[in-house]
Chain A
Amino acid sequence: MSSKNVNTELKTRKLNETLLQNLVTLGILVLISVIITALIPRFLTYTNINNVLLQISLIIIVGSGITLLMISGNFDLSVGGVLALAGVLFAFLSRAGVPTFFALILSVIFGSLMGALNGTLVVNLKISPIIVTLGTMYITRGLALIFANGSMISSGLPGDFRKLSNTYFGPMSLVIMIVIAVVIIFIFIQSKTNLGQYAFFIGSNRETARLSGINIGRTVSILYILVGTLAGLSGVILASKLGTGDSSVGDGFEFDVIVAAVIGGTSVAGGKGSISGMVLGAMILGVLNNSLNLLGVASYYQLVIKGLVLIGAIVLQRYIVEKFS
């Protein structure tokens, strides 16, 4: 059989499950959007859509890494803390006179180091990922408060501190370009590299992966480092956008990220998931938040509605995927 033949057949089959999953998620997204547009026509304006995209950009950046990590059967609850700490560190270093670009790079690298710490604790000390990252969540949150003196670093920052977030190329902001680049890179890692495939192997059966000679420790460590790096990157983007290093940002961020991945079809137990699904999941989250705001729903009610929609979305998805695949 010719290789071209193999390729096309491969594609048609591979589409099945992931595509169906994504179609359902997309359907839910469109459904919510149509309802909202009917209620508030203003929803579908360029400014508003751009607004939604900016709001979910950080979720998508970190979610790209978290999805791979969750596919491998691991977890990271410290991303909110790392995000806050990296932002505070960025402001702290900039105020101390470190050139903004270097401060930025150092803060992102700091995120990588936190990822390496998580990875080392999970792999070498064999502590459950939830416990380890819950611990580092407290540690990073605490350190952010310490560096920011209990609140935020907002004065004495250099003029180019906000440059990262207000650079535009035509109508496209640099941040949106970073988001797109991260998504493309991580979809590539997920589907085209050994690292991505190892994540699937480890998540679907750890023992088989070990007996097949896969270095589980190295793979999982790399995934944690990637997640930490992305959390650091998100932290500096947010600090740049706010113009401050705020120690209180990113509260509950870790859950938004996990929820986006889960709505997108990523299994909490590992072995299953897709970054494209996570992007759609993040969009559902963003649209929901945005529309509830536009509708002027009081924030207490917003939480209740969000919870209901999330559970409903997952139940509906599972029903449809099971029925048709």
Chain B
Amino acid sequence: MSENILEVRNLTKNFPGVVALDNINLDIKKGVTHCIVGENGAGKSTFIKIITGALSKTEGSIIYSGQEYNPRSISEAMKNGMSTLYQELNVVEQLTVEQNLNLGKEKHILSFMKKSEQDLKAIEILKAIEPRIDIKQLVANLSTAQRQILEIARAIATDAKVIIMDEPTAAITEEETKKLFKVIENLKEKNVTIIYISHRLSDIFEIGDYVSVFRDGKLIATKAISEISSSLELVKMMIGKIVTESYIPNEVNYNKKVLQVKELNDTKLKDISFDLFEGEIIGFYGLVGAGKTEIAKAIYGLRDSKGAIIIGDRTRKINTPEKAIKSGIAMVPEERRTEGLFTELTVRDNIPVMNMQKVSRFGIRSKRKEALIARDFIKKLKIVTPSEEKKVALLSGGNQQKVVIAKCLNAESRILLLDEPTRGVDVGAKEEIHNLIRNLAKQKVSVIIFSSELQEILILCDRIFTMFNGSLKAVFKNGTEDISYKILHTALVGES
């Protein structure tokens, strides 16, 4: 059999308080497509960062092309033939394709005057892969897929032996994906090794030779794709055993629909329809880019979508967050620092913002009322802060998230949209937030959770909707049987 290009032995990476990678042993063969899969936080990115020199390892050894390998920087890894195609492509839009190909390789200050052999090689390679790209045009005019091909050509020209691709198909069309796959096939013929990271299991079955599954910092298994019978098998390896014991059904009033969404359509969403009952918690689960956030934004008046939103029994035209809040909807946005908080202002300034009427009369504020409300929420939500006059920027992530939630609760909405409500929050605060959400449901508030964390959805939600590529794929009723694999399968593959 062919030799190994990469042999990883007992690789461990510790971060303060966390073992990100735990004793990884992995061989990657030369000239194959080796896929790496795992949930968010499984350790894939840490692994890639170590072999590309972006992070240093704590323990273990890496043998690359038969030699001990310890890159101290990304550029050192690149010099050794280890190239990475990041999700955020590393091209300069204002330069032409040709200039981009030669970028960073000018050996001499005047070398751009005369093309080196390597530059010509890069252009040759690019033409061989995709003759339709005009090398004189600006990169700004290229599609994402074309830019990827440009980066691949650059990598091959530097004699890359290993090309790492991180979610390369996340932002490109199906047709472009096919072209990329053809390029990958060609690379393999040239004995280049591809390390392919993706959430899309269909991609993996199409072009992968081997697959390694990561979970909780451990390598669960490495198998040849031909040995794997179905995507469900892969899913099971990815998530292991799921604990669903802590799901407690909420007291849902099935006689009262508080929200009906009918045939929501826009550039991303396709025919989204669902109902929400009083006191119910429902969850939307799907990969990054599946359209969860878009549903939240569409309901909250942030997207130009077609379709009907019926609150109670009245159809509402919601085209701004202002109207959404007036209709009784509040949203905890995905990015708390940039969308949820005024980090430079105090806790007292932040909490009343969605409902200023409560702290003002005829447009005149009462700072006393603001302080009382803020203190009330600090106590109720156990926000850890020395006082309500503390700048929000100085609080921890979990406490910042509680401030965002307090803002929404202060709006006294009947419907809460929570987009990734516990992302980047420590375990203790996470549990507190989960209990808080359950208590809200008890008070007849209806909640929609949009999360890429299956565990969170499974312990809180009465019904779970899976999303794939902008459409709803399935609805599951929680608590009846073990639905975790089915949910994950529909979300990853797009069919049940």
Contact with B along A1-20 (1 / 0, CB 8 A): 10100110110011000000
Task: Pick the most buried of A193, A195, A211, A271: most chain B CB atoms within 10 A of its CB.
Answer: A211
Among A13, A194, A212, point to the contact of B389 (Cβ < 8 A).
A13
Binds B, one of A96-104, A151-159, A200-208, A304-312: A200-208
Instruction: Select one of B322, B339, B372 contacting A3, CB under 8 A.
Output: B372
- Over the window 183-226 of chain A, the binary record of Cβ atoms lying under 8 Å from chain B Cβ atoms (1 yes, 0 no) is 00000000011110100110011011111111100000000000
Query: Is B75 in the interface zone, CB < 8 Å from A?
Result: no
Whether the Cβ atoms of A194 and B363 lie closer than 8 Å is: yes
A201 touches B333 (CB 8 A): no
Binds A, one of B45-53, B353-361, B472-480: B353-361
Contact with A along B325-366 (1 / 0, CB 8 A): 110000101000011111111001100011010001001110
Return the CB mask of B378-389 against A: 1 if under 8 Å, else 0.
Answer: 000000000101
The answer, yes or no, to whether B371 is at the interface (CB within 8 Å) is yes
Contact with A along B134-167 (1 / 0, CB 8 A): 0000000000000000000000000000000000
Complex CA–CA separation, A44 to B272 (angstroms): 75
Q: Which residues of A contact B387 (CB under 8 A)?
A: 9, 13
Q: Which residue of the partner chain A has the closest CB to B355?
A: A213
Is the CB of B367 closer than 8 A to any CB of chain A?
yes
Contact (Cβ within 8 A) A205 B371 = no
Tell me, yes or no, whether B312 is within 8 Å of chain A by CB.
Answer: no
Shortest beta-carbon distance, A265 to chain B, in Å? 14
Query: Which residues of the partner chain B approach A194 to less than 8 Å between Cβ atoms?
Result: 356, 360, 363-365
> Complex: how many Å from CA A189 to CA B342?
20
- Of all chain A residues, the one with the shortest Cβ separation from B407 is A212
Docked Cα-Cα span, A210 to B302, in Å, equals 10
A141 within 8 A of B: no
- The answer to whether A211 and B363 have CB atoms under 8 Å apart is no
Contact assessment for B367 and A10 in the assembled complex, using a CB-CB cutoff below 8 Å: yes
CB-CB contacts of B157-198 with A at 8 A, as 1s and 0s? 000000000000000000000000000000000000000000
Counting CB contacts under 8 A, is B375 at the interface? yes
Bound state CA distance, A207 and B337, in angstroms?
Answer: 10
Across the interface, name the chain A residue whose C-beta is closest to B302: A211
What are the residues of chain B within 8 A of A201 when measuring CB–CB?
Answer: 342, 345, 349, 353
A210→B342 CA distance, assembly (Å): 12
- Residues of A close to B348: CB separation below 8 A: 10
Enumerate chain A residues within 8 angstroms of B325, measured Cβ to Cβ. Answer: 212-213
* A272 CB-CB contact with B under 8 Å: yes
Asked if B397 CB lies within 8 Å of chain A CBs, one says: no
Q: B108 contacts the other chain (Cβ, under 8 Å)?
A: no
A6-B368, A14-B389 in contact; A213/B363 too (CB < 8 A)? Answer: no
Whether A205 contacts B342 by the Cβ 8 Å rule is: yes
The contact of A195 among B349, B354, B363, by CB within 8 Å, is B363
Docked-complex contact B364 and A214, CB < 8 angstroms: no
Distance A302 CA – B375 CA, assembled complex (angstroms):
53
Q: Pick the residue among A1, A9, A208, A214 that contacts B338 (CB under 8 A).
A: A208
B389 touches A207 (CB 8 A): no
Contact among A192, A197, A208 for B339, CB-based, below 8 A: A208
Residues in A with CB closer than 8 Å to B371 are 6, 10
A205-B360 contact, Cβ under 8 Å, with A1-B375, A10-B367, A212-B321: no
Q: How far is the CA of A281 from the CA of B163 in the complex (A)?
A: 59
Cα distance A9–B374 in the bound complex, in angstroms: 14
Residue B324 at the A interface, CB < 8 A? yes
CA distance A205 to B341 in the complex (A): 8
- Beyond A13-B387, A205-B338, A208-B342, is A193–B321 a contact (Cβ under 8 Å)? no
A210 to B321, Cβ gap below 8 A? yes
What A residues does B353 contact at CB under 8 A?
Answer: 201, 209, 212, 214
The docked-state distance in angstroms from the alpha carbon of A10 to that of B373 is 13
- Chain B hits for A192, CB < 8 A: 364-365
Known: A14-B389, A213-B324, A215-B322. A207 touches B363 (CB 8 A): no
Question: From residue A140, how far is it (CB to closest CB) to chain B in Å?
Answer: 30
Contact residues in A for B354 (Cβ distance below 8 Å): 212-213
Do A193 and B363 touch across chains, with their CB atoms under 8 A apart? yes
Alpha-carbon separation in the docked complex, A207 to B339 (Å) = 6
How close is A7's CB to chain B, nearest CB, in angstroms? 6
Measured in the bound complex, the distance between the Cα atoms of B354 and A208 in whole Å is 10
**Complex: how many Å from CA A194 to CA B344?**
18
Provide the residues of chain A in CB contact with B338, threshold 8 Å.
205, 207-208
Quick check: A211 and B331 within 8 Å, CB to CB? yes
How far, in angstroms, from A1 to B375 measured CA to CA in the complex?
10
Q: Which of B321, B333, B349, B411 has the most CB of A within 10 A?
A: B321
Complex CA–CA separation, A6 to B387 (angstroms): 11
When distances are taken between beta carbons in the complex, the residues of chain A under 8 Å from B356 are 194, 197
Is the Cβ of A193 less than 8 Å from the Cβ of B364? Answer: yes
Q: Are B322 and A272 in contact, CB atoms less than 8 angstroms apart?
A: no
Complex interface: chain B residues within 8 A of A200 (CB)? 342, 345, 349
Question: Taking CB as reference atom, which chain A residue is nearest B333?
Answer: A211
Residues of A near B320 (CB, < 8 A) are: 213, 215
CA distance A271 to B345 in the complex (A): 9
Chain B residues contacting A215 (CB-CB under 8 Å) are: 320, 322
Within 8 A of A (CB), among B279-334: 300, 302, 320-322, 324-326, 331, 333
B326: shortest Cβ distance to chain A, in Å? Answer: 8
Known A-B contacts A13-B389, A195-B363; the reply to A204 vs B321 at CB < 8 A is no
Chain A residues contacting B411 (CB-CB under 8 Å) are: 213
A7: chain B residues at CB < 8 Å are 368
Closest A residue to B408 by CB, please name it: A212
Q: Which of A3, A205, A209 contacts B343 (CB 8 A)?
A: A205
Bound CA–CA A204/B407 (angstroms): 16
Measured between beta carbons, the chain A residues less than 8 angstroms from B363 are 193-195
In whole angstroms, what is the CA distance A193 to B367 when docked? 10
Contact A211 B321, beta carbon cutoff 8 Å? yes
Nearest B-chain residue to A13, judged by Cβ: B389
Residue of A192, A194, A272 most packed against chain B (CB within 10 A): A194
Distance of A121 Cα from B14 Cα, bound (Å): 54
In the bound assembly, the distance between CA atoms of A6 and B342 in angstroms comes to: 22
30 cross-chain CB contacts under 8 A: A3-B372, A6-B372, A9-B387, A10-B389, A13-B389, A14-B389, A193-B363, A193-B365, A194-B360, A194-B363, A195-B363, A197-B349, A201-B353, A204-B344, A205-B344, A208-B338, A208-B340, A208-B341, A208-B342, A209-B342, A209-B353, A211-B300, A212-B325, A212-B353, A212-B354, A213-B325, A213-B326, A213-B411, A214-B322, A215-B322
Chain B interface residues (CB < 8 Å from chain A): 300, 302, 320-322, 324-326, 331, 333, 338-345, 348-349, 353-354, 356, 360, 363-365, 367-368, 371-372, 375, 387, 389, 407, 411
Q: 5 tightest CB-CB pairs across the interface, nearest first?
A: A13-B389, A213-B325, A213-B322, A212-B353, A204-B342
Excluding A194-B363, A201-B353, 12 further A-B contacts by CB distance (< 8 Å) are A9-B387, A13-B389, A192-B364, A194-B360, A201-B349, A204-B342, A208-B338, A209-B342, A211-B333, A212-B407, A213-B354, A215-B322
